[in-house]
Chain A
Amino acid sequence: MTADTTTRYLGIMLKNPLVASASPLTGDIESLQQLENAGAAAVVLPSLFEEQLIHDEQQFHALHEHHGGVDAESQSHFPDLLDYNLGPLSYLNLIKSAKSSLSIPVIGSLNGASTGGWERYARAIEDAGADALELNIYFVPTDPEVSSKGVEDQYVDLVGTIRKGITIPLAVKIGPQFSSLPHFVGRLAEAGADGLVLFNRFLEPDIDLHTLQIAPRLFLSNHNEYRLPMQWIAILRDQLLLSLAATSGVHTPADAIKLLLVGADAVMLTSVLLNRGVNHLHDFIAWLHNWLDVNEYDSIEQLKGSMSHQNCPDPRDLERTNYVKTLMSYTNTNSVNGT
């Protein structure tokens, strides 16, 4: 094992490109330590959901007021507690504990809903000691009066606002559903983003056919999902100087290698660790080293972007032609089989 696996992500030097993404595994100190011991180069803590915080504050306040002052005998229905641990305190304490327990970088993650909330909580995450902040932005534009530019403006404004409020590196995690991703991420870079995390997986709701109700369903990524970030990282790598992290669908070390080849600075793992356990990271790292050695790469830096849009043998393969080829081969195959 001679290859150098270090990589720079968000200006931070990582011992390897494998980062544990936000998940229940990064939600407590014990499993964070297990991740570090297994070789994770950095950890992204679960998102602090501003919407959830506000919801909890409102809900617990409503609970306290619930049916209060209604009759002479029961003027309240719950004990009057001094502290409900509402607000971001427990999250900030997790950052502090993680920083004091781990030697690898700790990246905070924030999912906000209002401008004031984003700014306030971003500063709090920085003050708690996070090495970087990952913004998890997601709007569902249901208003037909709002244009695609209007949606993008909200993202850009938020990034700009937060950039001004903190000094730690800032990554932005977005979904793929933008009409012109290169243009849009360019605006994010101008607004102050230090990196992009591609892509957010959204938990689209499902329908329960028994009750005819909308039902939330959590499902983990599947193996083929890595190809979407791979395509876009390949395209964006040549256009942007900022850091790129790949997330979604990385289930094998080979997936990680491919994402590095197209230009990812870091590769985020979630589903595979949830499925196969934290110690599977050891296998990932061993496989990575072995592959680099067998293929005579000196370092990850050498590997990164060597198959980006510009560097791949035929850039059109990363564009629509790839899609056309797939269709053709599928059609041809069927024809060969005489269907």
Chain B
Amino acid sequence: MAGSKFVTLDGNEAAALVAHRVSEVVAIYPITPASPMGECADAWSSQGRENIFGTVPEVIEMQSEAGAAGTIHGALQAGALCTTFTASQGLLLMIPDMFKIAGQLLPTVFHIAARTLATHALSIFGDHSDVMAARGTGWALLASASVQESHDLALVSHAATLKSRIPFLHFFDGFRTSHEVNKIELLSDEDISSMIDREKVLGHRRRALSPDRPELRGSSQNPDVFFQSREASNAFYEELPDRLQNVMNQFAELTGRQYRLFDYVGAPDAKHVVVMMGSGVGAAEEAVQRLVSEGEKVGLLKVRLYRPFDVQAFVSSLPASATRLAVLDRCKEPGSPGEPLYQDVVTSLAEHGAANGLANGSLPRVIGGRYGISSKEFTPAMVAAVFEQLKQKNPKPHFTVGIYDDVTHLSLAWDDQFTTEPDDVTRAVFYGLGSDGTVGASKNSVKIVGENTPLFPQGYFVYDSKKAGSVTVSHLRFGRQPINSSYLIDRATFVACHQFQFLDRIDVLKVAATGATFLLNSPHGADEVWDQLPQEVQQQIIDKKLRFYVVDGNAVARRAGMGGHINTVMQTCFFALSQLQPREEAIAHIKQAIGKTYGRWGESVLQKNYAAVDAALEGLSEVTVPSVAEGNKHLQPLIESNGTPFINRVTAPLVAGRGDLLPVSAVPADGTFPTGTSRYEKRGIAKEIPIWSQDICTDCGLCAWVCPHAAIRLKAYPPAELEGAPKGFRSKPWKGKDLADHLLTVQVAPDDCTGCGVCVDICPSKSKEAVRTRAINMKPIGPHVERERASFEFFKNLPEMKPTQTRVDTIKGSQLLQPLFEFSGACAGCGETPYLKLMSQLFGDRAIIANATGCSSIYGGNLPTTPWAKNSEGRGPTWCNSLFEDNGEFGLGMRLAINKQRDYAVELLQELSGEVGGSLVGALLQAETFDEAALVEQRRQVATLKDRLTSLSCPEAKELLQAADALVPRSVWIVGGDGWAYDIGFGGVDHVLASGENVNILVLDTGVYSNTGGQKSKATPRSATAKFAASGKPSRKKDLGMLAVSYGNVYVGQIALGANPAQTLRVFREAESFSGPSLILAYSQCVAHGIDMSKGMSHQKVVVQSGLWPLFRYDPRSAVDGGHPFRLDSRKPTISFEEFAAKEGRFAITARSNPEGAKRLFELAQQDIDDQWHYYEQMAGIERQVSEEQEEVVG
């Protein structure tokens, strides 16, 4: 091997480093956890990095994984070397093309960060359900079990596919390998080049479609030859294992790293063997090594080539002594006799036995188990439990390990005390906030150690499911041997808590081993910190004999100009205390790493980081630990107890991070969960909260209108309700005649507020004495929290305003309605959630929501809690997520079902008219449109109907009793982001718009794939920098609104809630009241715009002023009798695009990184705006006559 080079990187980058260098066309689409591979490839190509053939690979982002696969298929047929990266549902979307690619013997490699398939719920985490779903496509499946393997076997795959003409799925476990940072030996260009057979490359090119040598492929075949054709490729599959092994052998000669189709480790004379593949082999091998060292006859067979399954190689890899096998599958195949690997092993042994005349009894007994589904922890202790099971006289033929199954009793118990962690490995766990840089610093620490010492590091990072105030836990190991411990640390020799407030809510010392070092970022010095700790923390420090250090990281960082980024300070203290390197050496290496990491940001960024390093150790002090725990502080519960059994049994442990301990019986089998649970989760993440000054307030309601988390609310109530109000509860007389004699209170929910400051930015009421003081002002939470808590508790119990009691067509009137979307985990200052909140206020009591996968499905539906809530009558939005790509169709299905239910109810009602009363039936059927009062009346009449039906015994009455609720209108909302509506789901959206059905499509348009980290979509404005558009997006934003307008009979509204609240409210009400399809395009600022999110609503004003986001409505109800259905609601642009672009990071990056290109792109962006405005102005004058006949035909 030409000069070994060790680097530290994660599995995604390790695989992409090879894939990019051996490919010419890379078609990509973002999906967690595979997105970073595509992002790397795109970034490298945009930097001009060449492949081994001396050309820069063409990287193209497609509209979906199906699009990526189709592109690859075409590029392969035209003779290019191709690759892509995907996972989970993305892989499923590729399957149709994969059958074609394999059937046409086209060599390619798809790299898969294997991820759970969405079933009862979505999961972004890792298992093999996706790759197993693709096992019938005719592709070779090659499994990598570590970061090094994901690098090595990526090359082996690319080399072998060219040799064999069989396409390869090269997969490794999502997150556990794709996101684990480890030290690996890097393959050089020469290494890669020497493995790629140029003759085979030429052969592939020679087979390319060319008009110079015309051929026909992809024909349609009849029964006469199709079958034979399928069999004609058998030889390629038969030859593949040997060809692959030869490639592996060639690779071993080059690198010294020998891989085999099946690799066995353990006792040569093992009786009991575990068979498995993927990252779990890391934990399994450690368990086997320990058990063998204790004299156990056990072993592990690692499967690398899963398809085609080489029976002979498998059998010959097993020790002849093996009598029992446990086959572990990281997936579940309900209804099957066993999971896929298990079945292959059983079949192989049976075939082998039959072929060799072996009696059944002489073959090993095989049991199968499931483990690690959706990244469930899989530890050496669990492997030991599997071996223990194999020892049983009658082992369970099918089992699970890693959970407690109290329903079907399949699970194995394991001994938590069984550990294989060696004494000479440093194990460090860091608790941080997503925003404090802990994860970045931890990755940096791994790099520093990996690249400056002979030690082998490993880093793995765990996140909670919130986007605001998320807790991160970094697990770092450092040892003298390569580390393949594919599980979390539970016996840490070093624990760092980077946020003092965590101690009140999280048991951070649970993972500390006896004698460990505990580093705390504390505003309290060494002499005073002890009294500030909860007793539970004190006791653990004493019991575990921890060495306890404090540093005021925030103060040090602030002095160094680092703001809230304490990463460098805490990292320096870690190196000083962990003694991985001599202190001075470590400091020098940290500074080198700072130079490497931050150099491109300039001298000032370097200097402040250097200053933080120098100051960190001065502030580090050891705490003298008292012998007794004392004081009044205790760990605080993370969730309010409300006595609901489900919340107490399920939600509370989930919130507390004890979900792993829940038994199978505790969780719903079909994924159905109660709504209205976020209110019980008191997160307390805001450092500042808005405080209301009632004397300045003008009752506009805008603070509540824009609040992304429904953490500021308005209530109007009679003065008598103030009885019993806590001290300091504020109110003022309501302005306006509609609620004369009422009081108004604007109240913050202090434990639910994220402190984003959007409410302050929008507040138009300023003090006459000091202009900076508004009617609502951000204040440090400390001095205010108790009073605001008490006030909010009282406020909650004030009566909610009914829609019939307030003017819902006004901003402040609408904000008196109870939000049925509250306290989500969305980013602080999120631009999407205010729209959902508004929708829930206006229509929540009758809304049924189809939600596309994306940010809104995560903050809306990610456990442990949901922000979708219920009103006091128990009504509220009912919500479901199907997929990313099918959400339009999914929502349409809901509408069709509702229509059918109503039709059925009407039929039954008419049938039973005599029994229930003709006048009631008439009243129930008479209303065609419903205002709020009519809705209330309809509900009352349905209740009457139900009363009457209960006294009837005929079957029709029972049917109608069940169907009667459908007589009350349902509001169907199809919600998602621009990635869904403009790209992957566009076909479905288009079809739903064409259907004429009464659905409301709400597109929360951030102009990027926000949830997966800011990849460009077709909604991205020209010139904005986004992932996959590193030099600024070259093409114009798609005008989805006008595409919908072209149908004529679709209501379309383009809105920006912060720019024109009244227009937004009007569009929502008009869209919902329209009896056909409606489309609302809602401008949503996002962290991916690179803006100060506290000023998000001000940005909305500017984006409208620039003309980049004109406000308009198209109402088909005006498309009659020469009416003008299109109304332009915003004024002619008053500022230039360039002026607007200067305010947002996404454009500033383009201007900085690509000055010449940016100049041109900005000019084009301005032309886009000018042209679009001109077009819209003309549209505002058009007259239309949308015929009813057309509506009927469509509908």
Residues of A close to B39: CB separation below 8 A: 79-80
Residues of B close to A78: CB separation below 8 A: 1014, 1025-1027, 1088, 1090, 1145-1146, 1149
User: Bound complex: CA of A276 vs CA of B150, how far in Å?
Assistant: 65
Residues of B close to A70: CB separation below 8 A: 434-435, 463, 467, 470, 472, 827
User: Bound complex: CA of A64 vs CA of B435, how far in Å?
Assistant: 12
User: Bound complex: CA of A202 vs CA of B603, how far in Å?
Assistant: 28
Residue A1 is within 8 A (CB to CB) of chain B in the complex = no
The residues in B between 448 and 481 inclusive whose CB is less than 8 angstroms from any CB of A are: 461, 463-467, 470, 472
Residues of A close to B598: CB separation below 8 A: 61
Residue B32 is within 8 A (CB to CB) of chain A in the complex = yes
The residues in B between 42 and 91 inclusive whose CB is less than 8 angstroms from any CB of A are: 42-43, 46-47
Residue A76 is within 8 A (CB to CB) of chain B in the complex = yes
Supposing A63-B1145, A65-B437, A84-B1149 touch, asked if A77 and B601 sit within 8 A by C-beta, the answer is no
Main SS at interface, chain B: mixed
User: Bound complex: CA of A241 vs CA of B1012, how far in Å?
Assistant: 66
Residue B440 is within 8 A (CB to CB) of chain A in the complex = yes
Supposing A60-B1152, A84-B1152, A85-B1152 touch, asked if A77 and B1087 sit within 8 A by C-beta, the answer is yes
Supposing A53-B602, A77-B1013, A87-B602 touch, asked if A71 and B434 sit within 8 A by C-beta, the answer is yes
Taking the nearest CB of chain B, how far is it from the CB of A339, in angstroms? Answer: 38
Is A66's CB under 8 angstroms from B1145's CB? yes
Residue A216 is within 8 A (CB to CB) of chain B in the complex = no
Residue B438 is within 8 A (CB to CB) of chain A in the complex = yes
Residues of B close to A79: CB separation below 8 A: 39, 42-43, 46, 1025-1030
Residues of B close to A58: CB separation below 8 A: 601, 604-605
Q: How many residues of A contact B (CB 8 A)?
A: 36
User: Bound complex: CA of A69 vs CA of B1025, how far in Å?
Assistant: 19
Supposing A57-B603, A58-B604, A73-B1012 touch, asked if A83 and B466 sit within 8 A by C-beta, the answer is no
Residues of A close to B467: CB separation below 8 A: 70-71
Over the window 1021-1039 of chain B, the binary record of Cβ atoms lying under 8 Å from chain A Cβ atoms (1 yes, 0 no) is 0000111111000000000
- B827 nearest CB neighbor, chain A only: A67
Residue B771 is within 8 A (CB to CB) of chain A in the complex = yes
- B49 nearest CB neighbor, chain A only: A82
Residue A72 is within 8 A (CB to CB) of chain B in the complex = yes
Supposing A69-B440, A71-B434, A79-B42 touch, asked if A86 and B601 sit within 8 A by C-beta, the answer is yes
Residue B600 is within 8 A (CB to CB) of chain A in the complex = yes
Residue A81 is within 8 A (CB to CB) of chain B in the complex = yes
- A89 nearest CB neighbor, chain B only: B602
- B1087 nearest CB neighbor, chain A only: A67
Taking the nearest CB of chain A, how far is it from the CB of B434, in angstroms? Answer: 3
Q: Which of B39, B42, B124, B1013 has the most CB of A within 10 A?
A: B1013
Supposing A71-B466, A71-B470, A76-B1013 touch, asked if A82 and B47 sit within 8 A by C-beta, the answer is yes
Supposing A64-B601, A82-B47 touch, asked if A56 and B1012 sit within 8 A by C-beta, the answer is no
User: Bound complex: CA of A57 vs CA of B602, how far in Å?
Assistant: 6
Residues of B close to A75: CB separation below 8 A: 36, 439, 1013
Residues of B close to A71: CB separation below 8 A: 434, 463-467, 470
Residue A146 is within 8 A (CB to CB) of chain B in the complex = no
Residue A334 is within 8 A (CB to CB) of chain B in the complex = no
Supposing A65-B565, A79-B39 touch, asked if A72 and B601 sit within 8 A by C-beta, the answer is no
Residue A328 is within 8 A (CB to CB) of chain B in the complex = no
User: Bound complex: CA of A78 vs CA of B46, how far in Å?
Assistant: 14
Is B1090's CB under 8 angstroms from A69's CB? no
Residue A13 is within 8 A (CB to CB) of chain B in the complex = no
- A120 nearest CB neighbor, chain B only: B603
Supposing A77-B1014, A79-B43 touch, asked if A60 and B771 sit within 8 A by C-beta, the answer is no
Residues of B close to A61: CB separation below 8 A: 598, 601-602, 605
User: Bound complex: CA of A90 vs CA of B1158, how far in Å?
Assistant: 15
Residues of B close to A66: CB separation below 8 A: 1087, 1090, 1145
Is B1011's CB under 8 angstroms from A69's CB? no
Over the window 37-60 of chain A, the binary record of Cβ atoms lying under 8 Å from chain B Cβ atoms (1 yes, 0 no) is 000000000000000011011111
Residues of A close to B603: CB separation below 8 A: 57, 87, 120
Residues of B close to A80: CB separation below 8 A: 39, 43
Taking the nearest CB of chain A, how far is it from the CB of B206, in angstroms? Answer: 37
Residue B766 is within 8 A (CB to CB) of chain A in the complex = yes
Taking the nearest CB of chain B, how far is it from the CB of A55, in angstroms? Answer: 9
Supposing A65-B440, A78-B1146, A85-B1152 touch, asked if A57 and B434 sit within 8 A by C-beta, the answer is no
Residue A203 is within 8 A (CB to CB) of chain B in the complex = no
Taking the nearest CB of chain A, how far is it from the CB of B260, in angstroms? Answer: 33
Is A74's CB under 8 angstroms from B1011's CB? yes
User: Bound complex: CA of A70 vs CA of B328, how far in Å?
Assistant: 33
Is B1030's CB under 8 angstroms from A81's CB? yes
Residue A212 is within 8 A (CB to CB) of chain B in the complex = yes
Over the window 19-52 of chain B, the binary record of Cβ atoms lying under 8 Å from chain A Cβ atoms (1 yes, 0 no) is 0000000000000110110010011001100000
Is B1013's CB under 8 angstroms from A74's CB? yes
Q: Which of B439, B472, B603 has the most CB of A within 10 A?
A: B603
Residue A176 is within 8 A (CB to CB) of chain B in the complex = no
Q: Which of B438, B465, B827, B1026 contacts A69 (CB 8 A)?
A: B438
User: Bound complex: CA of A40 vs CA of B1173, how far in Å?
Assistant: 42
Residue B1010 is within 8 A (CB to CB) of chain A in the complex = yes
Is B1090's CB under 8 angstroms from A73's CB? no
Is A69's CB under 8 angstroms from B472's CB? yes
Taking the nearest CB of chain B, how far is it from the CB of A119, in angstroms? Answer: 12
Residues of A close to B1025: CB separation below 8 A: 78-79
Is B434's CB under 8 angstroms from A69's CB? yes
Residue B175 is within 8 A (CB to CB) of chain A in the complex = yes
Residue A68 is within 8 A (CB to CB) of chain B in the complex = yes
Binding site for B on A (CB under 8 A): 53-54, 56-61, 63-87, 90, 120, 212
Q: Which 4 A-B pairs have the closest CB atoms?
A: A70-B434, A57-B602, A69-B439, A74-B1013
What are 16 A-B pairs at a CB distance below 8 A?
A53-B602, A57-B601, A58-B604, A59-B1148, A63-B1090, A63-B1145, A70-B435, A70-B467, A70-B827, A71-B465, A73-B35, A74-B1010, A74-B1013, A76-B1013, A80-B43, A87-B603
**Can you add 9 more A-B contacts, CB < 8 Å, to A69-B439, A77-B1027, A79-B1029?**
A57-B601, A73-B1011, A77-B1010, A77-B1088, A79-B1028, A80-B39, A81-B1153, A82-B47, A83-B600
Binding site for A on B (CB under 8 A): 32-33, 35-36, 39, 42-43, 46-47, 124, 175, 179, 434-435, 437-440, 461, 463-467, 470, 472, 565, 598, 600-605, 766, 771, 827, 858, 1008, 1010-1014, 1025-1030, 1087-1088, 1090, 1145-1146, 1148-1149, 1152-1153, 1155
